[in-house]
Structure 1
Amino acid sequence: MTSPTSAPSPADEDHRLIKGLVVRTLLLDVLERDIRTLDTLLLKMPEVYILSLTRIQNQVLKEMLGLRKQMKNRGVKVLEETRGKDGIETVYLCRGYWQRFYMLWTFARNEVKKELSRHLQMDLTQI
């Protein structure tokens, strides 16, 4: 007889929520920079591209709101985010205990790329 699949441990779920929030924060930064860049280019219809990226920004903000709600329910609160030369460190409080989450820039870039491609409904394996 097989045992039922168990839910991830609380630490795994907390880690997933923090990672999701950090990745989406970085994605918002990328989108904002790209929107500003598109606005300076001599494109025929920049408003179409800008509107597309703005819609993604709004979707990401809604997702972040959902993540923050889950974090609040689980007693998780981000205290500090520090961007360094090699990566990004997030210090958070998890049900009274200080925790750290660190993500290297190479990993963060890949995660942001995956998240953006999901919003664009794009398969990165096709590139």
Structure 2
Amino acid sequence: MSKLDGNERWKSKMLLTEHVEQYEQRHASNEGKITTTEERTMIRDYILLPHMQKMVQRSIADVECSTNILKRLYLMAGQKILDLITKDLYRLRRELKKRNIKILTEEQSDLVIYHRYYCRGYEERFGMTREVMRSEISLQLTKYASELTTLLREYSKEMKGD
């Protein structure tokens, strides 16, 4: 909606149909190039998943060096979560490529980390603070742990014969 919509003075002005058509075409063509909320979520996840991958890999390496009696269980759980993260990252890469979205460089300005990306020919920036990244990573790791718990419960039911 423009500033002129609803202004009665402009209703009497004459517009050439070609100008109206050009205006409508320009706005119709821009709608497909603007990043949607779903795509922004995908970009955010694509940025966060490699960090999560490194964190889980480090955690697995720490557990391998430990003498904990539940070491094998922790390693199996960590490996399963790592597999889920890798699978999601692969799926995201495919989907972003299909939507013609390319994520490029990372730059830091003050407390915000920006990632440049191209979305259907337009260059944009996506920024997150470290605190937001930490909280999102925590939420997503909780989601993966919940998935693992669900898988364990299903396996347990199968073993019991329920």
Task: Compute the TM-score of the two structures, normalised by the length of structure 1.
Answer: 0.78
> What residue number does 1:114 align with?
139
Greater helix share, 1 or 2?
2
Matches within 5 A, 1:73-92: 73-82=98-107, 86-92=111-117
Of all paired residues, the percent bearing the same amino acid is 23
Task: Compute the TM-score of the two structures, normalised by the length of structure 2.
Answer: 0.62
Residue 87 of structure 1: CA displacement?
4.5
**Distance in 2, Cα, partners of 1:86 & 1:41:** 35
**Distance in 2, Cα, partners of 1:28 & 1:78:** 18
Residues 1:36 and 2:61 are matched in the alignment: yes
Matches within 5 A, 1:14-25: 14-25=39-50
Once superposed, which parts of structure 1, at least 4 consecutive aligned residues long, lie more than 4 Å away? 82-85
Residue 30 of structure 1: CA displacement?
1.2
Task: Name the stretch that deviates more: 85-94 or 56-65.
Answer: 85-94
Larger radius of gyration: 2
Residue 84 of structure 1: CA displacement?
7.4
Structure 1 gap ranges (5+): 1-8, 123-127
Distance 1:85-1:27 versus aligned 2 partners, 3 A rule: farther
Distance 1:54-1:83 versus aligned 2 partners, 3 A rule: farther
Higher RCO structure (Cα 8 Å, ≥6 apart): 1
